[in-house]
Amino acid sequence: MKKFESVLSSSALIMIVGVFLNVCIMFITFFNDSVFSRIYLMSFVVCFLLSFILLPLLLINRFLGKPIKHLLNHVFDWKRTVILFPIVLLLSLYLAGKAATIEYFIVAFGEEFLFRHLILMILMSAFNKKWSFIIG
């Protein structure tokens, strides 16, 4: 039953996050005509951070009983991040522009945190590494 619960929990988390994200984006789009681009960008960033990071952390803490401090352990390999981030940032700024780069980084960060950290952690609590990668 533990395996079924972990797959169901992962699927439910993805669906809840998806619905919350779409509702947030709907409100951002609804109010987009009357706001400045900086306010739009900030609301976009807040929406993605709430949807992909804060909401999943709170749901996992509440329903699966895992403490948030435990969920945030070993999220980054800091050496690799310090080396790759400036390189990717400069290339992205050069190729895509400032606003697009910020949006891309926020989306990528949120998705990686949700799928490669939280969902994988839930699946690895019931499956071995190989099956967790296949399912997730």
Helix 78-96 with 98-111: angle, nearest 10 deg: 140
Per-residue pLDDT tens digits for 58-109: 888 888 888 777 777 766 677 877 788 888 888 888 887 776 777 788 888 8
Please report, for the chain, the start and end positions of each structural domain, with discontinuous segments joined by +.
2-135
pTM: 0.76
Residue 73 region by backbone torsions, left for phi larger than 0, else alpha for psi between -120 and 50, else beta:
beta
Per-residue pLDDT tens digits for 101-132: 777 888 888 888 888 888 888 888 888 888 88
